[in-house]
């Protein structure tokens, strides 16, 4: 039953040879990488608007959102161009870990790896949370505002993560065709929505459905440059996912570097257009952030309404957004276990993370990822806005380390490509500046905006940073442990010429039976001098045993140890101590006769002393433990 349930859930095992490496043409590679990068447009504009919500904004201030967005688009441009250099420099797939470790040293490599791991966890958490938000926004149009959908947010997110986990444990292959359908569909409906919205705006000057938010009555702050920078920092969430192309260059057809660069360029262009379009429409329709409805949903309502025929487009936008976000989460399910397994192979993470499961997936990594993502969802109440600050910090560390690594690599080469150095240097500098900006903007917070169910947290960038520091410390500790173990195991002493002399001890209970006699026979076959040891709790048992020993003792010596405190462990350990002193040059084998009942619940009817003894002996050096078991029917 156990086996078959497992088969139903996880499928039959797959052979190792069935690992295949798809090589995709641009037309299929683009949608595969698009999900992670493009899905960020669904929350980036909203992230900016939230920062401005508390400022005393008359509607005149709205255009600022647009200018902040344009600044972010410029940043996208810088990152895309400098990542071209990474792609050409590491056509075998240059993750930040690899680039940083090779050029900036181990510590920077581990920092990059740590930030990436935290990031993948947050990719799952943020994408699932936003996907659920998109679904709930659409649901609200159907069922009206009376149902408190927000109450089910966390539970829904957890269920989605569990389903994703199950699918990945089954070893879903990322099928290029499936991605193509959904990603191109997403791009198509988003552009259609933006185009319809612009047409509506320029032709009629008013939205299909009114969505304008009244100015926040609690807005008490003036709009300062500080708040502007904070908005910019938050909006940088739009850049998440761009680095994925550089990590996955191996998925492209030859010439890989060229194809990857072209794909990255196209992606950047689509990302920039969608982001600008969405921000522009949000400004024009005077949309404010809301916990109940995503900004994309509000824009879509304003642009096309929820009634036929526009409603078809509205619901398509919501559906494709939700799907693309789940696909984005799914890319982390591939990336996190892969990076973990690389780190495990390098000895920085537990080795179990490098083991392939039944279905050729890194099961342990997948499970760790799922647990951490669920933890974040629960702690932050499944609110995207609460999770975004953590996310952005990690992404920009990855950018900076990779680009700085490229600069160093180029400087070290014989013939220096100054163009590349300047571009990467610029990229590294800009992303570092943004990182600092994100960090300081998110540390100093005058007033908490988002209350999660557990604690007030607005800008949790410090949590991401703390996690990274802990991670790096953990990497070092694990690495030190493995190196220590390796050193101890490495030396293999020359074979001893003298044959081993055995001291064999059989533990016998107060009553002899078939199983015990079997163990005695076994012991004598190893050593003719094997000794039986009985630990006596009472006189009656002692006498019964001596009597039986006459008949069935197999001619072995019987040692009776009195145990006035009715403990098995104490007297046995003292006897072993003595035995070790007397037979100094021998190896001691302790034989534990056990009988195995037919049904598992029968274990409750028998003493667990065998297990306890074995557990205790496990920590005793220089003793070999042998179980001779006797089966009951």
Q: Where does this chain bind its own copies (CB under 8 A)?
A: 13-17, 350-352, 355-358, 478, 481-482, 484-485, 488-493, 495-496, 499-500, 502, 512-515, 517, 521-522, 525-526, 537-538, 552, 554, 564-567, 587, 589, 595-597, 602, 604-608, 618-619, 621, 623-633
Nearest CB to its own copies, comparing residues 177 and 496: 496
Nearest CB to its own copies, comparing residues 2 and 58: 2
Nearest CB to its own copies, comparing residues 575 and 595: 595
Q: Which residues pair with 589 in a beta bridge?
A: 504, 624
Nearest CB to its own copies, comparing residues 144 and 499: 499
Please give the Cα distance from 156 to 142 (Å, whole number): 18
Nearest CB to its own copies, comparing residues 195 and 355: 355
- Count of all residues that appear for the chain in the document: 633
Min dist. Cβ of residue 586 to its own copies (A):
11
CB proximity list for 25: less than 8 A, separation 6 or greater:
253, 259
Min dist. Cβ of residue 197 to its own copies (A):
53
Residue 288: left (phi > 0), alpha (psi -120 to 50), or beta?
beta
Q: Which residues pair with 559 in a beta bridge?
A: 533
Nearest CB to its own copies, comparing residues 168 and 316: 168
Please give the Cα distance from 509 to 514 (Å, whole number): 12
Please give the Cα distance from 294 to 317 (Å, whole number): 12
Of residues 574, 575, 516, the one with CA closest to residue 544 = 516
Q: Kindly state the helix (H) or strand (E) to which residue 200 belongs, with its residue range.
A: helix 176-204
Please give the Cα distance from 153 to 241 (Å, whole number): 24
Nearest CB to its own copies, comparing residues 422 and 540: 540
Min dist. Cβ of residue 394 to its own copies (A):
25
Q: Kindly state the helix (H) or strand (E) to which residue 594 belongs, with its residue range.
A: strand 587-596
User: Exposure of 1 by Cβ count < 10 A (0-12 exposed, 13-18 middle, 19+ buried)?
Assistant: exposed
Min dist. Cβ of residue 249 to its own copies (A):
24
Longest dimension (CA), the chain: 109
Min dist. Cβ of residue 629 to its own copies (A):
7
Min dist. Cβ of residue 248 to its own copies (A):
23
Min dist. Cβ of residue 531 to its own copies (A):
17
Written as six digits, the tokens of 50 are: 């939230």
The CA–CA distances, whole Å, from 578 to 96, 322, 532, 587, 610 equal 58, 70, 15, 13, 22
Min dist. Cβ of residue 164 to its own copies (A):
23
Nearest CB to its own copies, comparing residues 140 and 502: 502
Min dist. Cβ of residue 499 to its own copies (A):
6
Q: Which residues of 214-228 are buried (b: 16+ CB within 10 A; e: fewer)?
A: eeeeeeeeebeeebb
Min dist. Cβ of residue 21 to its own copies (A):
16
Q: Kindly state the helix (H) or strand (E) to which residue 626 belongs, with its residue range.
A: strand 623-631
Min dist. Cβ of residue 542 to its own copies (A):
12
Q: Which position has the token pair 């078939």?
A: 514
Nearest CB to its own copies, comparing residues 203 and 539: 539
Written as six digits, the tokens of 491 are: 């030396």
Min dist. Cβ of residue 120 to its own copies (A):
21
Do residues 249 and 93 lie in contact, with contact meaning Cβ atoms separated by under 8 Å?
yes
Written as six digits, the tokens of 563 are: 């145990």
Nearest CB to its own copies, comparing residues 177 and 605: 605
Q: Which position has the token pair 């892969």?
A: 338
Helix, strand, coil shares of the chain, percent, nearest 5, are 65, 5, 25
Nearest CB to its own copies, comparing residues 59 and 552: 552
Nearest CB to its own copies, comparing residues 142 and 604: 604
The CA–CA distances, whole Å, from 513 to 89, 435, 572 equal 73, 73, 21
Min dist. Cβ of residue 77 to its own copies (A):
44
Please give the Cα distance from 153 to 203 (Å, whole number): 38
Nearest CB to its own copies, comparing residues 59 and 616: 616
Cα dihedral across residues 439, 273, 404, 426: positive or negative: negative
């Amino acid at each position: 039953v156990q086996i078959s349930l497992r088969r139903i859930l996880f499928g039959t095992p797959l052979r190792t040879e069935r690992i295949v490496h798809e090589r995709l043409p641009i037309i299929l590679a683009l949608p595969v990488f698009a999900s992670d990068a493009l899905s960020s447009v669904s929350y980036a504009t909203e992230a900016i608007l939230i920062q401005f919500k508390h400022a005393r904004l008359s509607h005149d201030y709205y255009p600022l959102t647009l200018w902040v967005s344009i600044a972010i688009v410029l940043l996208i441009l810088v990152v895309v161009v400098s990542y071209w250099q990474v792609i050409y420099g590491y056509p075998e797939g240059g993750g930040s870990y690899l680039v940083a470790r090779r050029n900036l040293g181990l510590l920077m490599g581990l920092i990059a790896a740590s930030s990436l791991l935290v990031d993948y966890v947050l990719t799952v958490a943020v994408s699932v949370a936003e996907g659920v938000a998109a679904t709930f926004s659409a649901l609200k149009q159907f069922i009206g505002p009376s149902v408190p959908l927000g109450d089910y947010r966390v539970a829904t997110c957890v269920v989605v993560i569990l389903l994703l986990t199950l699918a990945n444990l089954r070893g879903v292959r990322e099928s290029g065709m499936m991605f193509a359908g959904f990603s191109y569909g997403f791009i198509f409906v988003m552009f259609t929505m933006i185009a319809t919205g612009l047409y509506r705006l320029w032709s009629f000057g008013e939205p299909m459905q009114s969505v304008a938010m009244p100015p926040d009555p609690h807005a008490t702050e003036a709009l300062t440059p500080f708040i502007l920078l904070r908005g910019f920092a938050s909006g940088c969430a739009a850049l998440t996912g761009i680095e994925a192309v550089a990590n996955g260059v191996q998925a492209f057809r030859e010439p890989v570097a060229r194809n990857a660069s072209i794909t990255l360029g196209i992606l950047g262009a689509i990302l920039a257009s969608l982001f600008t379009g969405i921000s522009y429409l949000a400004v024009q329709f005077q949309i404010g952030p809301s916990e109940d409805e995503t900004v994309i949903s509000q824009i879509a309502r304003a642009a096309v309404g929820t009634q036929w025929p526009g409603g078809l487009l509205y619901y398509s936008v919501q559906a494709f957004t939700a799907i693309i976000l789940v696909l984005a989460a799914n890319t982390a399910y591939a990336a996190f276990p892969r990076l973990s397994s690389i780190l495990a192979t390098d000895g920085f993470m537990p080795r179990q993370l490098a083991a392939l499961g039944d279905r050729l997936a890194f099961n342990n990594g997948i499970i760790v990822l799922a647990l951490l993502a669920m933890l974040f969802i629960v702690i932050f109440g499944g609110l995207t806005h609460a999770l975004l600050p953590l996310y952005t910090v990690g992404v920009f560390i990855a950018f900076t380390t990779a680009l700085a690594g490229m600069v160093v690599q180029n400087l070290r080469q014989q013939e220096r490509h100054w163009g590349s150095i300047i571009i990467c240097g610029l990229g590294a500098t800009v992303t570092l500046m943004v990182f600092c900006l994100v960090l300081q903007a998110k540390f100093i917070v005058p007033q908490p905006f988002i209350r999660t169910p557990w604690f007030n947290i607005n800008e949790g960038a410090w949590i991401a940073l703390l996690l990274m520091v802990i991670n790096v410390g953990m990497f070092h500790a694990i690495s030190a442990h493995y190196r220590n173990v390796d050193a101890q195991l490495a030396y293999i002493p020359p074979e001893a010429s003298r044959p081993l002399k055995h001291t064999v001890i059989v533990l016998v209970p107060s009553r002899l039976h078939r199983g015990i006699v079997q163990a005695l026979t076994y012991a004598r076959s190893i050593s003719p001098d094997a000794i039986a040891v009985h630990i006596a709790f009472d006189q009656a048992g002692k006498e019964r045993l001596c009597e039986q020993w006459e008949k069935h003792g197999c001619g072995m010596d019987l040692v009776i140890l009195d145990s006035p405190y009715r403990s098995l462990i104490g007297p046995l350990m003292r006897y072993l101590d003595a035995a070790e002193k007397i037979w100094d040059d021998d190896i001691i084998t302790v034989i534990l006769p056990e009988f195995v009942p037919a049904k598992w619940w029968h274990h409750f009817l028998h003493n667990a002393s065998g297990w306890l003894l074995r557990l205790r002996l496990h920590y005793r050096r220089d003793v070999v433990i042998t179980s001779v078991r006797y089966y009951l029917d």
